[in-house]
Structure formats: C-alpha cells, structure tokens
Amino acid sequence: MIVDIHTHFFRPDLDFGPKLLADMARCGVDASSWGDVGERHLETTREADVAIVFGLQASQTDWNIPNDVVAAHVARAPERLLFFTSIDPVLPNYMEELERGHQELGAVGVKMAPLYQNIHPGDPRCYEIYRYCVKHGLPILFHTGTSFVGGTPLDYSRPVYFDQVAVDFPDLRMVMAHLGHPWEGETIAVIRRHANVFADLSALYYRPWQFYNSMRLLVEYRADAKVLFGSDYPFTTTGSSLIGVRGINAVLGTSGLPPIPSEVLEGIIHRDSLRLLGLPHPIALLRS
C-alpha cells in the first residue's frame, strides 16, 4: 500500500492573502501552473492508495484556507482521503478550532507550521495543542525546514527544536516534513532518538544532488525506517514524486559514488504510515 501523507488543498484565488501573494511573486511561484487544484488533487492522488489532505491556517503569512473547505474536499473521495485540520496557535480561538476540526469535521490528525505561523514550537500555546493531540491520539504533521515565505524567523523551523517537544510528549506521533531541509542532519538526529517521531521526504526529489546526499546520510545512520512517503501536492504530484524517489541514483552517472539501495527506496514508498501514525484506513471510517 502507498500512502501519500503530504498533500495540500486550497483555492488560491480565495484563500491566499496579500502577503502570501507578494511572497509568491517575489520567488516566482505561479499558482496558475497548478490548474484546478481540487480536480487535479482528486486525479493525481490516485497514484497512492491513501492520501492525507490538509490546508493551512497561518494568519502571519496570509494562508487562510478554511478547514471546512478541506473537509468538504476530502468528502468527495472518502474511501481514499484522510483529513488533517490545520491549527494556527496565534489566533485567539485556536483550541476551539482544534476541537471543532476533530469532533465536528472528522479530522484524524493536525497540520502545523511554526515558520508560517510565526511561533516557536515550544511555545505554551503549542503545548496546549500537543496535550489535546496526545489525549485524543491525533498525530501532527509539522512543516520543518525552509520556505519561500518571508517576514517570520526561519529559526522557528529548525528540526532540533522538535527534539524537546518529543522529550516532553513521548506519546505524541509527529512527522517532520521535507526532512527539515536544509537541516536534514538535524532531522535525522531527532527521528532516530524518538519512537514516535518520523519525517517525510516530500518536495525533495527535484533538488537531486541535495536529495541524494540527504538519503545517503539517512542510510548511514540507518534511520530510513523512520521516513514516510509524501509528495507536497500541488507543488508536485504523487506520481512525479514516486518517479523522482525511484530515480534518485540517476544523479550519480559514472561517478562511482554509492547508490541508495532500492530496498530503502521501496521501503519508504510502501511504508505502513497509517499504522505508524495510529491512523484509520479511510474505508474503516466509512464503515464506522
């Protein structure tokens, strides 16, 4: 079974504010290249058996995707999509939104992004969210590493800060997205220390040399069992990511450098992410 644990849903014309649009223009991110995000999401995620879907609530950087809209999109293919609610700890009603997303909208996990939300992952407001998630068995997928957004401290996205979170909440299932690039070494150091902390390799394959070196480091630390497959749709797609991961060794040419073993790559692609994160299969939810 293939699980794409990292896919976004949003409506750029409705959900993106002026700050975000300015950041996109500055960095050459063209939303028109994504086409109809919703329809393409339903089409391209078929390359996986299950896909996790979330929006992003991040008032400080103008990501304003309503959780209700994401939940409604997931309901279009409930047999293969799972909904994670996004929570912005900076907003005054963040705990009410967490409870509503979980209890009313049916979220089975949470999406957070400290860099986008302008908050340190060790902030007491975040710790309140973590306590709720532990109590209710909700995993959290965190954006970690760099981004094109500006105006907030990149430091909030350092993977090493999630080590303290894992120490304080050993039962909290966490996913550190993008292997925390460009701090992949920090991410690997964290995930191998904690039973319930994982990383995903979304949005990495199109930087092939950096991706190869990150994966070699992962192999040398023997931490590949803690890495999950994800795409980062619509910035790429499930199918393109599968091709990119499987083609990682093409960058080597005749260099003689050691390849990434195919069993490592296929192990990541076919990892039982639902079991590791304590998530139900969408079909089981339909039957309940």
pLDDT for res 287 = 85
Give me the pLDDT at residue 253, please: 92
* pLDDT tens-digit map of 156-182: 999 999 999 999 999 999 999 999 999
Reported as a pLDDT band with limits 50, 70 and 90, residue 190 is: very high
User: What residues does each domain of the chain span?
Assistant: 3-287
Fold exhibited by the domain 3-287: TIM Barrel (3.20.20)
CA atoms within 13 A on the CB side of 132: 21
Rounded average pLDDT over 137-158: 97
> Which of 145, 137, 108 shows the shortest CA–CA distance to 232?
145
pLDDT (average), residues 246-251: 97
Please report the pLDDT score of residue 288 as a whole number.
78
- pLDDT at position 237 is 98
Buried b (16+ CB within 10 A) or exposed e, 63-95: bbbebebbbebbeeeeebbbbbbbbbbebeebe
pTM of the entire predicted model? 0.97
The pLDDT tens digits of the residues spanning 83-105 come to 999 999 999 999 999 999 999 99
Check if the beta carbon of residue 248 is closer than 8 Å to that of residue 208. Answer: yes
Task: Let me know the angle formed at the C-alpha of 48 by 46 and 50, rounded to the nearest 5 degrees.
Answer: 100
Average pLDDT score over residue span 108-131: 98
pLDDT tier at 276 (50, 70, 90 boundaries)?
very high
pLDDT greater than 90 at residue 197: yes
140 has pLDDT over 90: yes
Beginning with the edge strand found earlier in the chain, give each strand of the sheet holding 50-54 in spatial order.
Answer: 3-8, 50-54, 81-86, 109-112, 140-142, 174-176, 197-200, 227-228
